């Protein structure tokens, strides 16, 4: 009887295990995964999209909806995202939303690369001409090469997805933009939807071609599960701002310099090392120009040399020039140009404000060093007065003044006994700037 009960429990347990494994699979398949990408397209966005596609497939989602709102970004990151979308094993729908959003520049490529492209009313798409990393126009030769390469990239995506390649090419060659209704009329997007619910309703029954074959979408009444960014991704997104990266790099260098000037303080050195580590994390997600990093490093070296020999000023001026140039060139410049996007340069207001504060602090610090050096030299020179003879200019009772080698000094009677005025005295010792004297024999 015990064996029968045990066997029955095993069967029930196994059946429960099978049920718990099969039910979530059925439930998880009946949902649409949602990925929200808003802001500049950069390596963080590319990694987030790649993880989102993999997570949607792993959760057995029916489709992946990418809600997009971007002013543009890096061409390298855009290519990575487009490649992931074109080879996806799950239907991807890019939905430019909410009203007022845009799929400008890099967003145009991402939208066109979707299996189904949708827009909300009041949105726009286009203006995908290449520009420099700071948003500036490229030199004519480089602009021609970059534009033709980017236009070919756009045509290849449009042909792959059966969209209007001629009109889409014009978004690159002539920076043309389209409203939602214009994009629908020109076969740039597939539909216009008021919201996610309306989007799912219109998607129902549509045929999508994947690498594995054709799939008919069954989206009516699908639950929508959003794939959120991880805490690490959110943190790196905050760090990956040119202004924050510049401030972290600068503050980190200052902390290390303070530790070098005053060994043993510990806190400035530790804080500086942490700031530098975070700065390099940020730099790894931005189009960094290493010439700018080198100039900032040179500025730190020149400031250090000025502190070792205060008063020369050559090192200080050179350090100030290197710092400003390094900040201005820190991002962009020599990296592959992004398509039209927000500037990746450090704000001139940030450079100006931080430089003014830094140079003011450095000037105060160097002045203090020069004064300390002069004082040290003066005291060291005054030590030669020991043993010299002078005359009291006032009575020492026991304090007063004496004349030594054409200089008037504060003095005190060494024995504590009063010494009259105009008496000859000999310097016995020096305490700070006060001479200890005794009456000459």
Which band of pLDDT confidence, cut at 50, 70 and 90, is reported for residue 8? very low
Cβ 192 vs Cβ 117: under 8 Å: no
Averaged pLDDT of the chain: 81
- Write the CB contacts of 387 (distance below 8 Å, at least 6 apart in sequence): 426, 427
Neighbouring-strand partners of residue 208:
215
- Average pLDDT (104-112) is 92
CB atoms within 10 A of CB 394: 15
> Any idea of the CA torsion for 312, 315, 321, 325, to the nearest 10 degrees?
180
Domain with CATH 2.40.50.140 in the chain: 386-439
DSSP letter string, 311-349: T--HHHHHHHHHHHHHHHHSBSSSSPPPBS-S--SPPHH
Please, what sign has the CA dihedral across residues 248, 250, 256, 261? negative
Whether the pLDDT of residue 164 is over 90: the answer is yes
Please, what sign has the CA dihedral across residues 199, 204, 209, 212? positive
CA 282 to chain centre: 4
Cα–Cα distance between 289 and 173 in angstroms, integer? 27
Whether the pLDDT of residue 22 is over 50: the answer is no
**Domain 25-230 indexed as CATH 1.10.287.110:** no
Structure tokens at 336: 């592959």
Neighbouring-strand partners of residue 392:
402
Whether the pLDDT of residue 179 is over 60: the answer is yes
Compare 303 and 276 and report the one with higher pLDDT: 276
Domain with CATH 3.90.226.10 in the chain: 25-230
Q: Residue 33 is inside which H or E element, if any?
A: strand 31-38
CA 103 to chain centre: 23
pTM: 0.68
Cβ 84 vs Cβ 43: under 8 Å: no
**Domain 386-439 indexed as CATH 2.40.50.140:** yes
């Amino acid at each position: 009887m015990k064996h029968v009960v045990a066997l029955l429990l095993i069967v029930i347990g196994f059946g429960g295990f099978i049920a718990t494994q099969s039910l979530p699979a059925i439930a998880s398949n009946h949902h649409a995964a949602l990925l929200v990408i808003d802001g500049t397209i950069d390596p963080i966005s590319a990694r987030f999209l790649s993880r989102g596609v993999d997570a949607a497939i792993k959760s057995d989602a029916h489709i992946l909806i990418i809600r997009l709102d971007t002013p543009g970004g890096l061409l390298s990151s855009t290519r990575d995202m487009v490649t992931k979308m074109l080879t996806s094993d799950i239907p991807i729908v890019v939905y430019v939303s909410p009203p007022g959003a845009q799929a400008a520049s890099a967003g145009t490529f991402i939208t066109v690369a979707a299996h189904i492209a949708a827009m909300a009313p009041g949105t726009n798409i286009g203006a995908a001409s290449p520009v420099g990393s700071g948003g500036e126009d490229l030199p004519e030769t480089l602009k021609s090469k970059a534009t033709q390469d980017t236009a070919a990239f756009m045509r290849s995506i449009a042909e792959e997805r059966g969209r209007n390649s001629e009109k889409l090419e014009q978004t690159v060659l002539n920076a043309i933009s389209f409203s939602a209704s214009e994009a629908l009329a020109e076969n740039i997007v597939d539909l216009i939807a008021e919201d996610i619910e309306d989007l799912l309703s219109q998607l129902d029954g549509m045929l999508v071609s994947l690498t594995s074959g054709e799939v008919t979408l069954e989206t009516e009444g699908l639950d929508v599960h959003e794939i959120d960014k991880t805490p690490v991704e959110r943190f790196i997104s905050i760090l990956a701002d040119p202004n924050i990266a510049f401030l972290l790099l600068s503050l980190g260098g200052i902390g290390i310099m303070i530790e070098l000037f005053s060994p043993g303080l510990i806190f400035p050195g530790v804080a500086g090392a942490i700031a530098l580590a975070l700065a390099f994390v940020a730099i790894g997600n931005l189009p960094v120009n290493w010439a700018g990093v080198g100039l900032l490093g040179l500025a730190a070296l020149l400031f250090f040399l000025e502190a070792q020999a205060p008063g020369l000023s050559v090192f200080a001026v050179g350090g100030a020039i290197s710092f400003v140039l390094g900040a201005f060139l820190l991002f962009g410049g020599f990296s592959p140009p992004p398509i039209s996007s927000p500037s990746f340069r450090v704000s001139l207001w940030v450079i100006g404000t931080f430089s003014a504060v830094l140079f003011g602090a450095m000037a105060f610090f160097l002045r203090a060093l020069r004064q300390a050096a002069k004082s040290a030299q003066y005291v060291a020179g005054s030590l030669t007065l020991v043993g010299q003879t002078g005359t009291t200019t006032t009575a020492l009772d026991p304090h007063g003044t004496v004349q030594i080698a054409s200089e008037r000094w504060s003095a005190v009677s060494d024995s504590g006994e009063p010494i009259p005025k105009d008496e000859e005295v000999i310097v016995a010792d020096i305490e700070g700037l006060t001479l200890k004297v005794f009456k000459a024999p």
